Amino acid sequence: MRLRPLVTAPFLLALLALPAGATAQQVDYPHGETSKPLNCTLCHTQQGWSPAREPLDFDHEAETGFAQTGRHAELTCTSCHLGLNFAEPKVSAAGCADCHVDVHMGNLSVECVACHNTTSFNDVPGVALHARTALPLTGSHLQVSCANCHVDDTGGAYTTLDPECYSCHAEDYETASLDHVENGFSTDCESCHNTLAFGAGIAFDHVTVSGGFRLIAVHSRIPCESCHVVPGFDSLFPGVSSDQDCVGCHQDDYDNATPDHAGSGFPTNCTACHNVDSWEDANFDHTTLGINFRLLGAHSRLPCSSCHVLPDYDPLFPGVSSDQDCVGCHQLDYDTADPDHAGSGFPTNCTACHNVERWDDATFTEHDPMYFPIFSGAHRSRWGSCADCHDVPSDFGAFTCFNCHEHDRSPMDDKHREVSGYVYDSAECYDCHPNGRGGD
């Protein structure tokens, strides 16, 4: 069946312009069977069929359902329609493969528009598209071309490849400077490496492979050969059980340390004093290792040699039991003190008067009752220094009231005539005058 064009006003005018007696010649419709009759004036003019109207007044999407976008808008009719039969080729809106050969040979999506656009076939968001596959492109993989991996896929066939690193990097694994084959390293490259670079950012699971040795602080920054014989990767210290077994690697450091660790009986638990960042930054727990002797006050600022004989670290005062046993270290200070502590019977509990900051800042707080029970009231307010009652440095003997008041008996007797049971006796005075002054 042949479709005939609609008779339009210009066409009627052309018929009217024919000479008298002439008849219009029937013209067959040349554009094939279309979905609907086409209006000739969209492309042609009344001056003649050829040349066609420029530009065409033909809406390709409205008339055919196929939008001419991108590069398609630059094409001529004959680029797709090889003849005047516009019914061919039969193309759907997304039927790219009707005109374009699938260079991927069916390995990728059958919908070209899933990756391509009509502007350029090469304008493909490859990274985003690869992210949908089993191997998203990251790190150095972003810098390589498709052909670096798809070496046999000429023309863009892009067959599916094994996404495991070893499938492409078997040679790197087998020729690595650290012998991966001999050491039985996993072919799961990602367990140690990342996609940035094989030689950098290695994340080796040392804890699992070594049986519990964590690479902490300084240990994480030293080369493998510091502890291992490479390429065999044998351990230099095969007996080391964990990262807490410091002396397993550092026995020589312990034996040759200053001060002498071995001779002084220091524990081999190095972390009791040292840390994993530096040997020199030791934090010695003197309370635990020094027989409950806390380094308080001035003691914390003294060098070790003040109390120990170096390098063996023997204590100068081996009998000292704790930081409260002051006289254990300061017997000479006690014996030669001014005032005379030993001759005056001062207690050897130095902290009764002294503190741990300095000797000369003594504070005498309690007058020993065996010498003078009543150092209070008028006695304390009237006589403020030891020299008021004592001939220093050595006269710190026992006192009674009569030591000071032996000439006061007559006045005292007169004052106490009506006091029942009054006896001029030091011990009896305390019963009535506990604060050491009259009128109590």
For position 7, what pLDDT does the model report? 39
- How many whole angstroms separate alpha carbon 375 and alpha carbon 341? 19
Q: Do the beta carbons of residue 33 and residue 1 sit within 8 Å?
A: yes
- How many whole angstroms separate alpha carbon 176 and alpha carbon 173? 6
Q: Are strands 308-309 and 314-315 parallel, antiparallel or unpaired?
A: antiparallel
Q: Where are the domains of the chain?
A: 1-93, 94-163
For position 250, what pLDDT does the model report? 92
- How many whole angstroms separate alpha carbon 43 and alpha carbon 7? 15
For position 385, what pLDDT does the model report? 61
Instruction: Judge if pTM exceeds 0.75.
Output: no
| Residue among 360, 302, 294 at smallest CA distance from 325 | 294
Three-class DSSP category at 45: strand
Name the token pair of 423: 């006896």
Three-class DSSP category at 235: strand
Helix, strand, coil in percent for the chain, rounding step 5: 30, 0, 65
Q: Do the beta carbons of residue 133 and residue 141 sit within 8 Å?
A: no
Q: Give 214's Cβ-side CA count (13 Å radius).
A: 4
Determine the Cα angle at 50 with ends 47 and 54, to 5°: 85
Question: To which residue do tokens 């065409």 refer?
Answer: 56
Report CA 287 to chain centroid distance, whole Å: 33
Sign of CA dihedral 206, 210, 212, 213: negative
Distances (CA, A) of 46 to 3, 9, 20, 63, 381: 20, 10, 20, 22, 137
Return per-residue pLDDT of the chain as tens, 440 residues.
Answer: 333 443 333 343 333 333 444 444 556 778 887 767 778 888 888 888 888 888 888 888 887 888 888 888 888 888 888 888 888 888 876 778 788 888 888 778 767 888 888 888 888 888 888 888 888 998 889 888 888 888 887 777 788 889 999 999 999 999 887 778 877 788 888 878 888 877 766 777 788 878 888 888 888 888 888 888 876 678 888 888 788 889 999 999 999 987 778 877 777 888 878 888 888 877 777 887 666 788 888 988 887 778 888 666 678 888 888 888 899 899 999 999 887 888 777 778 888 888 898 888 777 655 654 445 555 666 666 665 666 676 655 566 556 666 777 676 777 778 787 777 777 766 667 677 766 566 55
Name the token pair of 234: 């044998």
- String of b and e for 86-107 (b: at least 16 CB within 10 Å)? beeeeeeeeebeeeeeeebeee
- String of b and e for 246-265 (b: at least 16 CB within 10 Å)? bbbbbeeebeebeebbeebe
Q: How many beta carbons lie within 10 A of that of residue 416, not counting itself?
A: 14
For position 18, what pLDDT does the model report? 38
191: left (phi over 0), alpha (psi -120 to 50) or beta: alpha
- How many whole angstroms separate alpha carbon 323 and alpha carbon 412? 50
Q: How many residues does the chain have?
A: 440
Which alpha helices (DSSP H) does 245-321 contain, by range? 247-255, 286-289
Name the token pair of 39: 């209006």
- How many whole angstroms separate alpha carbon 73 and alpha carbon 394? 121
For position 345, what pLDDT does the model report? 74
Question: To which residue do tokens 């550092």 refer?
Answer: 250
